[in-house]
Amino acid sequence: MNSERMHDINKRLASPSLAERLFYKKRWARGFDATNNGTICKVVPVVLCILFSTTLLAQPARFNISGYLSSTQSGTALSDTNVLVNNTIHNRVNLNWYPSAKIKASVQLRNQLMAGDYIRFTSNAGNLGTYDRDPLSFNLLENTSYLLNMSVDRAWINCTLDKLEITAGRQRINWGQTMVWNPNDIFNTYSF
């Protein structure tokens, strides 16, 4: 490019034409004019409320939902041409309710979607994930190649009074966690 052409391009960029200046000036004035019902005047309060919504909350949360989602794939090669493939999608949903500072309640669900060759070749696939004596575990969907199981494995209420804490319901038993040994090792068949 020659230097005259570059100079001309730089000059145009430095000083926009009258039409460009009027166009941008009108758009700027129209967008921020409070008397004109422009979209900016409607959007700014909504955006500010969303940005500062965490500081607008005056009370602690009384209801909390949390959980996770995981997926596990597995394959088994029976021969060079025969491969069995399975997939399990595991989901946990934790619902916590805090009606007061001394009382809290929780319901925790476990959902499992199992699909693949293992389900197809298992004759009692409908019993996977369910227990005979567990009325809170049941199959939502059941087919020859997939199974969706839901289990309410934890449901409890907790009350705390000064130096007394009472928890009643279906809850997890934590046997402990140590580096070498824990009480659950009594039931393991491994020899350490």
Residue pLDDT, tens place only, 14-56: 555 555 555 554 444 444 444 445 555 666 666 666 665 555 5
Q: Pick the last residue of a domain from 39, 56, 73.
A: 56
Residue 185 has what DSSP assignment? G
Report the percent of the chain where pLDDT is more than 70.
53
Does residue 76 sit in the same domain as residue 21?
no
Q: pTM of the entire structure?
A: 0.54
Residue 156: domain span = 63-187
- Give the whole-angstrom CA distance, residue 192 versus residue 183: 14
Does residue 137 sit in the same domain as residue 85?
yes
Does residue 29 sit in the same domain as residue 91?
no
Q: Across the strands, what pairs with 158?
A: 104, 167
Residue pLDDT, tens place only, 65-96: 899 999 898 888 888 788 888 888 899 999 99
Residue 189 amino acid letter: T
